Structure 1
Amino acid sequence: MPSRQSRLMEETYVRLNKHLGAKDLDIDLYRIVMEEQASVATEPTNVTYEEVQCPGTVQPAIWCLPQSASASHVILYLHGGGFISGSPSSHRKLAAHLAKRAGCRALIIDYRRAPEHQFPKQIEDVVATYTWLIQDMGFSSKRIALAGDSAGGNLTVSASLAVHNLGLEVPAAIAAFSPWFDMRTTGKSWQRNAKTDCLVLLEAMQGVIHTYVGESSLDNPCLDLLCTDLKGLPPMFLTSGTSEVLEDDAVLLAENARSHEIDVNLLLVEGMQHIWVLMAGNAPEADESLAQAASFIRSKMAI
């Protein structure tokens, strides 16, 4: 049974959908509203922030710097927002909570967004920042984890695949919260959870998919993540709520990854809505999920 705090998130999503659930999505309105919605976490204590210019960003990225955190380990955090919204500012507190629990710093980047920039520009931006962390900032790939939510969860895998295909060393770990992988919307949870998901609607999502994908083929390996060969990618922590239509995205990606001999930790949290971890510091389910993700990251990066 969801906690009182998580039920409040459901109510907020219901109100949002009165304005954002239409087929013809007002992207400017969506960006404004989601900027506020993604800020429902508490402010984590003993964390400072710094802006930094780096490759792969439109606006400055944000360093999240917990006190006493390892300076040699970093989480590259990729915000959600359907590839069309979200920013380092909107996800600053969520990334900081995760970094603090993992005992390292985090970097949140402002990758290019659709429809102004479509696939694969977002992946290119993540790869550019990842390469910068290694070549210019001196981080070892074994001490870098990719983490993200929703569309950002997609980027943790698609960018890792792009890195691998370029012949570069992949990061030490992936952590994806409510990840969105299924560009064909074929997962059974689209029907099974249609009445319990308070935010994501199939009709609206189909428009978002076209906005991101454009004229690219869904057979592209970085779009067809549920079926493409993932061999060589890092260990993965994947988590989804059992009330969200994207539940099977995590389940099916886990099956594909395991078929290619990848270590996967799959966590399905009963009754949770899309990206419940946004409630970090405010809801027990969010804190527990982040704690498990942080433990996974720590083990894979040897912090």
Structure 2
Amino acid sequence: MRVVIRPVFRYSPLTPVMLRLAVVFEWAASFVVPVTRDTEVERVDFPGFHGEWIRPPGADPDKVMLFLHGGGFFCCGLRTHRRLAARIAERAGVTALSVAYRQLPASPLAVSMADAHHAYTWLVEQGFTDIVIAGDSAGGFLALTTALTARDEGQPGPAALVALSPLVELDHLGRAEHPNLKTDAYLPAHRLPKLRTMLLAGLDEDPSPARRDLSGLPPVLIQAGGAEALLYDAHLLAARLCAAGVPHRLQVWEGQLHVFQAFAGPIPEGHAALDEVGAFLRSATGSGHAAA
């Protein structure tokens, strides 16, 4: 990550042309991020975007996880995160709906948030009552804002939230002093101020979860790597949840990088972390499925 990914993210110009080239990560994932042979994947179409059902063996079809992938709101998608979503769903004993929400440079944050909430609304309208929401990095941002929008609009809320290395504050001022910023294995958190202007197009105010009233949210599990820059965000989110009286658990995995759960296998701690996620979600949905 330090040798290959970090230089690309750190030095590539943040222009629409360069952001469009980030699709290479999604293309490459078709060859290097497979799911188990018994896992079923089925496309779902929404207005202007799409998603996919991920059905691990033995998953309860009535218990659903809405999964929102990370990637800084400009890269990654269903393919890069298919295995991560499938591993969580298998451990939790649920069916997953993973969403390819629209991103930069074609669509700003307002559209990404609207797509995520549209997918959640669709699940509610389909009659699902045991819904949980999970996301990593930028997907953690969307998991939180989706639950907050559902609360504000009087919709039934999710049973639980999982935020893996979540981004919860678009303003970089507080994070800029964090000691992990210079040593993070690949995340270019220092470039967030440039992205922020593009992301906030069409919005009257910054919708960062850390800036909002978090009261009324369901239980939240937060996981972060001890060596990543967004450890700042994980601690900030935990503090805001505590102030709002929301049940939550923060797990910091010593020495780990950003979204290390996605690299479970080469990083054995990733499997242990995913087991924790699965147990948390089984408890929230009442699933009796055993952890993988």
Give me the TM-score of the superposition, normalised by structure 2.
Answer: 0.90
For residue 19 of structure 1, the aligned residue among 8, 13, 23 is 8
CA distance in 1, matches of 2:177, 2:55: 38
Q: 1:23 and 1:47, CA in 2 relative to 1: closer, same or farther beyond 3 A?
A: closer
Q: 1:47 and 1:199, CA in 2 relative to 1: closer, same or farther beyond 3 A?
A: same
Once the two structures are superposed, residues 141-183 of structure 1 have per-residue CA deviations (whole angstroms, 9 ceiling, x without a partner) of xx10100111001001011111111111110010011111121
Residue of structure 2 in register with 1:102 after alignment: 92
The percent of aligned pairs where both chains have the same amino acid is 31
Deviation at 1:202, TM superposition (A): 3.8
1:89 correspondence with 2:73: no
Find the residue that maps to 1:91 and give its secondary structure. helix
Find the residue that maps to 2:162 and give its secondary structure. strand
Q: 1:84 and 1:21, CA in 2 relative to 1: closer, same or farther beyond 3 A?
A: same
The size of the alignment, in residue pairs, is: 284
Residue of structure 1 in register with 2:113 after alignment: 123
Q: 1:167 and 1:246, CA in 2 relative to 1: closer, same or farther beyond 3 A?
A: same
Deviation at 1:240, TM superposition (A): 0.8
Q: 1:202 and 1:176, CA in 2 relative to 1: closer, same or farther beyond 3 A?
A: closer
Q: Structure 2: where are the runs of 5+ without partners?
A: 288-292
Q: Show the 5 A alignment for 1:1-303.
A: 12-22=1-11, 24-25=13-14, 26-33=18-25, 36=28, 43-44=35-36, 46-55=38-47, 58=49, 60-135=50-125, 137-140=126-129, 143-188=130-175, 190-214=177-201, 216-217=203-204, 219-220=205-206, 222-223=207-208, 225-303=209-287
- Give 1:279's aligned amino acid: F
Deviation at 1:245, TM superposition (A): 0.7
CA distance in 2, matches of 1:98, 1:134: 21
Give me the TM-score of the superposition, normalised by structure 1.
Answer: 0.87
Find the residue that maps to 2:106 and give its secondary structure. coil
Q: Structure 1: where are the runs of 5+ without partners?
A: 1-11
CA distance in 1, matches of 2:99, 2:283: 24
Find the residue that maps to 1:267 and give its secondary structure. strand
Q: Which has the higher contact order (CA 8 A, sep 6+)?
A: 1
Q: 1:190 and 1:156, CA in 2 relative to 1: closer, same or farther beyond 3 A?
A: farther
